[in-house]
A and B are shown apart, each in its own frame.
Chain A
Amino acid sequence: MTDQALAPGSVTSIVPDDGGMPRGRRPRGVGIGRVGWGVAGVAAVVAVWELYKLLGPADGVTVGGDGSAGSGVILLPRTHDRAMPHMWDMVARMFAPTSGGDTPPLIVSVLEAAGTTLGLAALGWVIGVVVGGILGIVMQRWRLVEWGLLPWIVVSQIVPLIAFAPVVNALGNQIDRAGVFPWPQWFSVALIASYLAFFPVAIGMLRGLEAPDALHLDLFHAGAAGWWSTLIHLRLPAAVPHLLPALRLAAASAVVGAVVAEVSIGLRGGIGRMLIQLAGQASSDPAAPWAPTFGTVAIGLVAAAGVALIGATLHRFRRGEEIR
């Protein structure tokens, strides 16, 4: 990594008056540009939506239908207000009462539900990161464990979540009822979220721990460093650049897992349940399901931001990325 041959004849900065500091870091101050692009992206989506709604046929274009509802292959989606409400209607609906009368504005209900789901996803993420991290370390430590465990870890992700969630829920209910230990339903959701989250962390951790150069390993060996101090001082720090993308993936997976698990086991209070409920009423209130949809997007963004924050605190361990 670090060393580079210098050009023939160049004088290196052994002498203090040299001052030639090579390899600057990426320029800062791109924040505003990024926000600008983000806003432009959202604006573009809004523009495309409204433009298609304006120009597209109200009943869409279907091929091979026999006239009954839902038959045929949809080539172009319908654009009437029930199928594609205006953006401004979606926004207006957020500030209208949740279910008429004195109920709080929809956005408040969405934020509450989003908070609940975010909490479950976060708990799932933490469990997933801990379990995945330990699995990664154990697999790196014992090659035999890697051979034995890795295929199962990969296979575990093939099991469809929608089939797996009720099993976890039923298991939890039994444990709860048998009085082994209390197992609230929300814990099943967090556990299912962690089931998706642990996978990228286990893989990222394993690859990251194997990332150090042979040279660095020799150096630690020469210094008579044991497995533990090599882990703490070399392998874990070197794993950070591999771990951060894994943590980001895990966060996204945890959010998806939490939402799907809520839907699958019917947990009340979260955004998954709300999404299903409002979608069921969409024919009479078409703008409403969009509020929890945006809420889900917001959860994802908050989760991604949380991981970005972790990445920022670990900046020191990512210097290698810049000079590699």
Chain B
Amino acid sequence: MTAPAVHAAGVGKVFPSTGGEVTALTGVDLDVAAGEFVSLIGPSGCGKSTLLRLIADLDTPSAGDLAIFGKAARQARIDQDYGIAFQQAGLLPWRTVAANIALPLELHRWSRARRDARVAELAELVGLSEFVGRYPDQLSGGMQQRVAIARSLAASPQLLLMDEPFGALDEMTRERLQTELARIAAETGAAVVFVTHSIPEAVFLSRPGRPRDEALRESPEYFTRVTAVREALHGAPLQRANER
């Protein structure tokens, strides 16, 4: 049995601030199995982004144990065990689409030939093969976000961390990218930790053992699940920590 993609036990995070300490997370226990798609959902400020940043080792937990594939978060980051995407695409404006996708590979000193081959593959995967020579300012928001997803997949990580990656997109683009992400996650077999505040998005993406396609969006079961999640969230309101 391989180690789980993410294992968190009693993880807490306290931010020091001028007005005293701000508690963002307390006692989080979470296990994400390899290849599993997990959505973190809750209102703004409930600490879901903070948890993601802890997993990514962009912040360090104040309490508890956190292991990524059985390793310390810091080691996992250095080994490039995860790929990450944020709400903002965060592309470098001076790099073409291809060079943006290649960035993590460049940082890890892949050879030029390997890089080019992998970029072509990834551009194909996110449907941007025709646009590899373009600059980010020549792309729509949805296209930029696809580039960001391709970039997060560059080093073939077995864990994808996504912080509201579709949050700034319109509904149409959003649905299309959700379907695509579901497909990509299934194809690559990577575990995904997906932060969102959209209940339908979380329900659509985190459906184990079912194909996630457009038919699912129309199925009665989907609506039942959305209702169930909504009731769960509203019925037992989360302890709302202060907005970071």
Contacts and interface: CB of A to CB of B under 8 A. Distances in A.
Contacts of A215: 86, 88, 90
Interface residues of A, number: 43
Contact of B140 (A12, A219, A221, A323): A12
B214 interface: no
Interface in A199-232: 213, 215-216, 218-225, 229
Interface string B172-204: 110011000000000000000000000000000
B87 to A, nearest CB: 8
- Residue in A20, A21, A222, A322 with the greatest tally of chain B CB atoms within 10 Å: A222
B111 to A, nearest CB: 16
Given A222-B77, A319-B93, A3 B58 contact: no
Given A21-B138, A320-B94, A3 B144 contact: yes
A45 interface: no
Given A13-B140, A220-B107, A223-B108, A2 B90 contact: yes
Contact of B173 (A2, A6, A222): A6
A22 B140 CA distance: 6
A224 B94 contact: no
B137 A23 contact: yes
B171 interface: yes
Interface in B129-184: 130, 135-146, 168-173, 176-177
Nearest to A314: B94
Contacts of A318: 94
Interface string A1-30: 111111111111110101011110000000
B72 interface: no
A8 B170 contact: yes
A5 B170 contact: yes
A20 B107 CA distance: 33
Contacts of A233: 92, 103, 106-107
A216 B92 CA distance: 8
The contact size tier of chain B is 35 or more
B78 interface: yes
A10 B80 contact: no
A320 B95 CA distance: 10
B94 A237 contact: yes
Contact of A2 (B77, B93, B106, B107): B93
Contacts of B136: 2, 319, 323
B5 interface: no
A20 B170 CA distance: 15
A237 B100 CA distance: 13
Contacts of A316: 94
Interface string A306-319: 00000000001111
B6 interface: no
A11 B170 CA distance: 8
Contacts of A317: 94
B142 A1 contact: no
B127 interface: yes
Interface string A282-324: 0000000000000000000000000000000000111110110
B168 A3 contact: yes
Given A6-B142, A225-B107, A229-B107, A12 B94 contact: no
Nearest to A230: B107
Contacts of A96: none
A237 B130 CA distance: 26
A9 B175 CA distance: 12
B173 A12 contact: yes
B176 A14 contact: yes
Contacts of B177: 14
B205 interface: no
A234 interface: yes
Contact of A322 (B130, B137, B143): B137
28 contacts: A2-B136, A2-B137, A2-B144, A3-B141, A5-B168, A8-B170, A9-B170, A9-B171, A12-B141, A13-B143, A14-B142, A14-B143, A22-B140, A23-B137, A23-B138, A215-B86, A223-B80, A223-B107, A224-B77, A224-B79, A225-B107, A233-B106, A240-B94, A318-B94, A319-B94, A320-B93, A323-B93, A323-B136
Interface of B: 56-58, 77-80, 82, 84, 86-94, 103-104, 106-108, 127, 130, 135-146, 168-173, 176-177
Query: Which 8 A-B pairs have CB atoms at the shortest separation, nearest pair first?
Result: A12-B142, A320-B93, A323-B137, A12-B140, A6-B170, A215-B90, A3-B89, A319-B93
Interface of A: 1-14, 16, 18, 20-23, 213, 215-216, 218-225, 229, 233-234, 237, 240, 316-320, 322-323
